[in-house]
Structure 1
Amino acid sequence: MNDSDHDRRSDLAVLSSAAELTTIEFVGELTIKTIAGAHARLTEVFGASGAVKADVAEDAVVDLTFVQLIESARRTARETGVAFDLAAPAAGQLRETLARGGFLAAADDQEFWLKTSEGR
């Protein structure tokens, strides 16, 4: 792997686990080029934990692929009874991508992504 490949990769393998809660830290590039690793990690954690938090770094490089992965994780969580949430409100490029993609239109989406209980 050359230096430019390293700069583009996602450093998402940082995990912390306390009792039934597992937190996955997503940092670096979270795009179509690196989404397979993020998907694999989420799949692994969903099979072994009762509650999952996604901690997305404010300076993460995000595209719609990552947003779609998190939306899919939300659906899977509902279907399997796993509690799934973000560790903090979406910020930085993630928030910009959500707005551009129309993912903040519904109150329940705003509550999940932005941590607003009133849908603001």
Structure 2
Amino acid sequence: MAVRDSINIQVIEGIRTAMLEEIQIHEDPELDLSQLQDADLSFLQLVEAARKSAAAKGKRFRLAAPASPHLVSLLERAGFLADGNAQARQFWLEGGVQ
């Protein structure tokens, strides 16, 4: 699933619906953020929830590529990359499978 442009609280519901469908349809859902221009905290929360939801269903959720520098900055400010959260760091910084 490719995410483009800017994602914020005003458009998050449509992205949530698309992510849920992606998780239901695909065995190994992948999120492509290469065209993402900007995002807010609601997007990070949604991706984390989708990652956990996929794992609960025994599916591997992954990023097509590591997070961009802009997204990494947002992740750091929001505390998603705090010490001790190795799984989140692997997912976001290495495009890791979860």
Range into which the TM-score falls when normalised by the shorter chain: 0.7 to 0.9
- Structure 2: gaps spanning 5 or more residues: none
CA positional deviation for 1:92? 3.6
Larger Rg: 1
Flag the 1:82–1:29 CA change in 2: closer, same or farther, 3 A.
same
Tell me which residue corresponds to 1:99.
Answer: 76
Tell me which residue corresponds to 2:45.
Answer: 68
Counterparts of 1:17-56 in structure 2, within 5 Å, are: 24-56=1-33
Flag the 1:97–1:45 CA change in 2: closer, same or farther, 3 A.
same
- Structure 1: gaps spanning 5 or more residues: 1-23
CA positional deviation for 1:93? 2.7
- Name the CA distance, whole Å, in 1 between partners of 2:20 and 2:46: 11
Flag the 1:100–1:88 CA change in 2: closer, same or farther, 3 A.
same
Aligned pair count? Answer: 94
Q: Looking at both structures, which has the greater relative contact order when contacts are Cα pairs under 8 Å and sequence separation is at least 6?
A: 2
Q: 88-97 or 24-33, which moves further after superposition?
A: 88-97
| Matched-pair identity in % | 34
Flag the 1:50–1:116 CA change in 2: closer, same or farther, 3 A.
closer
Tell me which residue corresponds to 1:82.
Answer: 59
Alignment RMSD: 1.7
TM-score normalised to the size of structure 1? 0.72
